[in-house]
Homo-oligomer: A and B are copies of this chain.
Amino acid sequence: MAVSERGPRERMVFSAAQLIRRHGVGATGMREVAVHAGAPRGSLQHYFPGGKEQLVNEAVAWAGRYAGRRVARFMEGMAEPTPGGLFAAMVRQWTDEYETAGLLAGCPVAAATVDCADATESTREAAAGAFATWTAPVAGALTDMGVPTERAEPLATLMISSLEGALLIARAERDTRALTTVAGELAPMLDAVATGAACS
C-alpha cells in the first residue's frame, strides 16, 4: 500500500487508522497497532507520550488529510468533471476496495466519532477537524465546477454525509448496494443543481 518506506512513527499512525476503521477505537489495542506496524511496542510510548488518545487523534487527522487529498486526484482523473461525477468517484473508491479486499472496512473518522465523541473531547475535535479538511476540498472542487459559492459547502456536506451513511449501511449489509444506490440517486441530483436545473 505504498507505505513501505515511511518512518516508524507514520507507520504506526497509519496502522492505527487501519485497525480503527475495522474494529473501532475501543477494540483496537496499542499492542495490536505496534504489531500491525511492525514496530516495537516501546516505540509507542516514545512517539506518543500522550498515549492512546494522541495516537487516535493523529490517526483521525491523517485520515482527514488523506480523504482531502483524494479529492484532487478524483478531479484530475475526470475528463469533464461534474459534481455528480466527483461524488460517483468518491463512492467508487469504497466499492473498489470492497471488490479487492472482499471486506468493507469503515471510515476511521466515523469510528472515532462514534466511540469517543462523548468521552474524549480532543478526539471529538480531531474528528471535527478531519471532516473540515475533507469538506473544504470538496467544496472547492464544486465551485471550480461552477457551483455558486454559497451552495458549495452545503452540498459538500450533503455529499460526505450521504457517503458516510451509505458506508455504514453497506458495512452492516456486507454489500455495496447502499453505496451504489446512493451514488445512482444523488449524482444526477447534484448535476441538476450544478447546471441550474429546476430545483426549488
Q: Closest approach, in angstroms, between the C-beta of A67 and any C-beta of chain B? A: 13
B158 touches A128 (CB 8 A): no
Residue A186 at the B interface, CB < 8 A?
yes
**Contact partners of A199 in chain B: CB under 8 A:** 188-189, 192, 197, 199
A173 to B128, CA, bound (A): 5
The answer to the question of A24 belonging to the interface, with a C-beta cut-off of 8 Å to chain B, is yes
Main secondary structure of the interface of A (DSSP, over half): helix
Q: Which of A3-11, A34-42, A117-125 contacts B (4 or more CB under 8 A)?
A: A117-125
| Interface assignment of A86: CB less than 8 Å from any CB of chain B | no
The residue in chain B whose Cβ has the minimal distance to the Cβ of A105 is: B118
Interface membership of A90, Cβ < 8 A: no
Confirm or deny: A94 has a beta carbon within 8 angstroms of a beta carbon on chain B.
no
Q: Are A103 and B131 in contact (CB under 8 A)?
A: no
